[in-house]
Amino acid sequence: MSIIDFKLPKFKFKKMKMDVTRELENIDYEKIQKKNLKQKRTTPYEDSTHYKTVKEFFLKSVKDYPDEDCILEKPNHKEPYKITTYKEFKEDVFALGTALTQALQLKDSRIMIVGETQYGWYVSYMAMLCGVGIAVPTDRELPVNELENIARRSRASAIIYSPKKESDIKIIKEKIPEIKYFIEMKSDKPLEEKDVGINYLINLGKNLITAGDTSFEEIEIDPEEFKILFFTSGTTSNAKGVMLCNRNLAENINAVTAYVKLYPTDRLFSVLPLHHCYESTIGFLYPISTRCIYCSL
């Protein structure tokens, strides 16, 4: 059959109600536009922030709201949200930081973080920014050869990874023997050669702190020091590493709080991947700086 002989089949559509259309026609858009222009802020709030480091606003939030909800996360779709307070989150962050710097001797090292949005990601990233070393947030959707490429180019000393990336990690472990440690999220496994669970390290760090180790808490952050290595998507060629410091992230927070007001009663839901600079800063760090509640599935 030629294209000339082809006939479109006859479709029958149900009658559509036009109530919504009529409602749209009755809206006074000019009035709404005037209202929006009137409410638009063109000058910064007087109480806009002037933070220099992530650790600075994180500790302030913990001090001001220790027992308030910080993170809501579903362990799975059948269970209710698990609540972590600001105090509990700080304790886990400082415990992991202590274990990484003291037990594993990874102070000032470069550590990749690969995984879906989850508590292990939050605590790892915050520990890095509060004094461990240089964080390398990495796209979990990358194929294993690209993960290997970033591990080599970033000169990573350790990889913190999601259990879902276990098969990729086994390949990287064989190909890059220079990597010292492979730390699995949601795992309690004790240290055995290069492998260890993040929960084991957090508990180890808490024991060290209880015994009097305050080394991690005492680390002073240089705002200008290179602390984060983000890799671009590489749409035009190979992914490019972008070096940022603590001040870069803190200034982003300052810029937003000058014009957008959030309150401790607000809840922010995270949907974008956290390895993106925008999401990890505005979606994760910003709510914590304003003592909001950060939610994720």
pLDDT of residue 35: 60
Amino acid of residue 38: K
**Domain presence at residue 34:** no
What whole-number distance in Å separates Cα of residue 170 and Cα of residue 153? 19
**Domain presence at residue 265:** yes
The count of structural domains within the chain is 1
pLDDT of residue 20: 46
What is the DSSP pairing of strand 158-161 with strand 293-296? Answer: unpaired
**Domain presence at residue 212:** yes
Question: Hey, what's the torsion of the CAs at 199, 202, 204, 205, to 10 degrees?
Answer: 170
What is the DSSP pairing of strand 69-73 with strand 293-296? Answer: parallel
Instruction: Give the residue among 189, 192, 142 at the shortest CA–CA distance from 164.
Output: 142
**Domain presence at residue 7:** no
Within 13 Å and on the Cβ side, how many CA atoms surround 284? 24
**Domain presence at residue 45:** no
Residue 137's contacts (CB-CB under 8 Å, 6 or more residues apart) are: 113, 125, 228, 230, 274, 275, 276, 280
Given a contact cutoff of 8 angstroms between Cβ atoms, the answer to whether 74 and 81 are in contact is yes
**Domain presence at residue 3:** no
Q: What is the pLDDT along the chain (297 residues), one digit of tens a residue?
A: 554 555 555 655 455 444 545 655 666 767 655 665 555 555 566 678 899 999 999 999 999 999 999 999 987 778 888 999 999 999 999 999 999 999 999 999 999 999 999 999 999 999 999 999 999 999 999 999 999 999 999 999 999 999 999 999 999 999 999 999 999 999 999 999 999 999 999 999 999 999 999 999 999 999 999 999 998 765 666 778 889 999 999 999 999 888 888 888 888 887 888 898 888 998 899 999 998 888 876
Q: For 169, which DSSP code?
A: H
CATH number for the domain spanning 103: value is 3.40.50.980
Range of the domain at 147: 54-296
pLDDT of residue 16: 47
pLDDT of residue 23: 58
**Domain presence at residue 135:** yes
**Domain presence at residue 22:** no
C-alpha 250 chain-centroid distance: 15
